[in-house]
Amino acid sequence: MVELASPPGYSSVSTLSQEVVNKQQDASLITKRSWDIAVAPLKQIPMNLFIMYMAGSSISIFPIMMVGMMLVRPLRAILSLNSSFSALESAQSINLLAQKFVFCIGQFVCLCLALYKCQGMGLLPTHPSDWLDFIAPRERTEFASGGLSYT
């Protein structure tokens, strides 16, 4: 009897073990994708630094808009943390706590960069002279008057 070659796509591995391998591959792909999402804010830092450099430190509409967006985007991303990872959580029962933590750290670093830019532009009250309106005037401890009268 002549032995024929296996048809294309045929695997001698049982279907059950093939499903287990596929589930393991799916889990590793989901883990990889979740780490890609978690590290994305850290990958944005060089671009944010370049944008900060190009915007300059003058107070005009373009730098203010850039700094405003650099402040708003991380806050929105942190507030919508669960929606960023919701597709991955529903796919498998994988614990994404570490990925969420790294994502929040990356967004926090981007927020700190924006605050640094605001401080460099002079928009943050970091000097004592920025608070002069709230300081009570000094009380006089000594009064001087007089002089010589010429008659």
Percent of the chain's residues with pLDDT above 90 = 30
Q: What residues contact 38, with CB distance under 8 A and at least 6 apart?
A: 98, 99, 100, 102, 103, 106
In a domain, 111, yes or no: yes
In a domain, 129, yes or no: no
In a domain, 43, yes or no: yes
Per the structure, the complete domain to which residue 53 belongs is given by 16-122
In a domain, 150, yes or no: no
In a domain, 33, yes or no: yes
Dist. CA 88–CA 145, nearest whole Å = 80
Q: What is the pLDDT of residue 107?
A: 95
Dist. CA 106–CA 143, nearest whole Å = 59
Q: What average pLDDT does the chain have?
A: 83
Reply yes or no on whether the pLDDT at 132 is more than 70.
yes
In a domain, 58, yes or no: yes
In a domain, 46, yes or no: yes
How many other CB atoms are found less than 10 A from the CB of residue 118?
17
Dist. CA 62–CA 56, nearest whole Å = 9
Per the structure, the count of domains in the chain is 1
> CB-based burial of residue 114 (10 Å sphere; 0-12 exposed, 13-18 middle, 19+ buried)?
buried
Summarised one tens digit per residue, pLDDT across range 41-86 is 999 999 999 988 988 888 888 889 989 999 999 999 999 988 887 8
In a domain, 116, yes or no: yes
Full-model pTM:
0.70
Cα angle for residues 129, 122, 79 (degrees, 5° grid) = 115
